[in-house]
């Protein structure tokens, strides 16, 4: 067997895996896109802002690299889309009315999504700007971003309730519980994403364009 044949056989599986990962990410991106269109038609303004922000973070790597294969990791895309999907689900509204703990589930899903947005901001700041953060500050940034956006989110829901009569915040206790879940998830996921980047194989980091994070996450770039 020639060297070229051996190289071809070793490259094809990697390319197929890259395509499968990209396709899974595209599915999550489509869910995010159509969910954003739906809340826009419904004039659900806080969720419109959330959807647009998530979509911008999703498409930026694709547009920058001019390659649809440079999509975000599929697991992050699903975390971004999950709270929007739960929000627009009629079944979810029924569960909120009948199960007291279901609101906590949706709050946790939203907090996971916020931490993912915060993490992606640190990634894309490194990829497309001169800004650099060391690892402890990157974790701190993710946690503080999550808490800050959650606070503004509660205010936005209250304004939406006052202007349009939406029953988004039944009481102050619900708002405080949402903030508590955000704090817990933000602290947890800040460190989880640090471990996630440390554990990610080098080839996958390079394939996703995360190569700029070698130094930040304590690795030494080879070659």
**Sequence ranges of the domains in the chain:** 3-213
User: Distance between CA atoms of 75 and 65, rounded to whole angstroms?
Assistant: 20
Do residues 158 and 174 lie in contact, with contact meaning Cβ atoms separated by under 8 Å? Answer: no
Question: Which stretches of the chain drop beneath a pLDDT of 70?
Answer: 1-14, 90-101, 165-170, 209-223
Q: What is the pLDDT of residue 141?
A: 87
Supply the pTM of this predicted model: 0.73
Sequence-distant (6+) residues with CB within 8 A of 15 are none
User: Distance between CA atoms of 221 and 197, rounded to whole angstroms?
Assistant: 14
Q: What is the mean pLDDT of the chain?
A: 77
Q: What is the pLDDT of residue 113?
A: 86
């Amino acid at each position: 067997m020639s060297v070229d044949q051996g190289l071809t056989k070793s490259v094809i599986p990697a390319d197929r895996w890259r395509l499968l990962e990209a396709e899974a990410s595209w599915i999550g991106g489509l869910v995010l896109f159509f969910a954003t269109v739906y809340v826009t038609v419904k004039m659900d303004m806080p969720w419109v802002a959330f959807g647009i922000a998530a979509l911008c973070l999703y498409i930026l790597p694709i547009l920058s690299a001019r390659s649809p294969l440079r999509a975000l990791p599929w697991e992050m895309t699903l975390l971004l889309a999950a709270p929007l999907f739960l929000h627009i689900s009629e079944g979810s509204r029924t569960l909120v009315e009948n199960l007291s703990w279901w609101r906590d589930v949706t709050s946790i899903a939203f907090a996971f999504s916020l931490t993912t947005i915060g993490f992606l901001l640190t990634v894309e700041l490194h990829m497309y700007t001169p800004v650099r953060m060391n690892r402890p500050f990157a974790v701190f940034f993710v946690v503080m971003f999550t808490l800050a956006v959650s606070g503004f989110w509660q205010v936005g829901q209250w304004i939406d309730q006052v202007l349009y009569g939406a029953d988004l915040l039944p009481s102050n206790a619900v708002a405080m519980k949402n903030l508590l879940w955000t704090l817990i998830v933000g602290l947890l996921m800040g460190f989880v994403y640090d471990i996630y980047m440390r554990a990610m194989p080098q080839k996958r980091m390079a394939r996703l364009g995360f190569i700029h994070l070698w130094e930040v996450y304590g690795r030494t770039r080879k070659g």
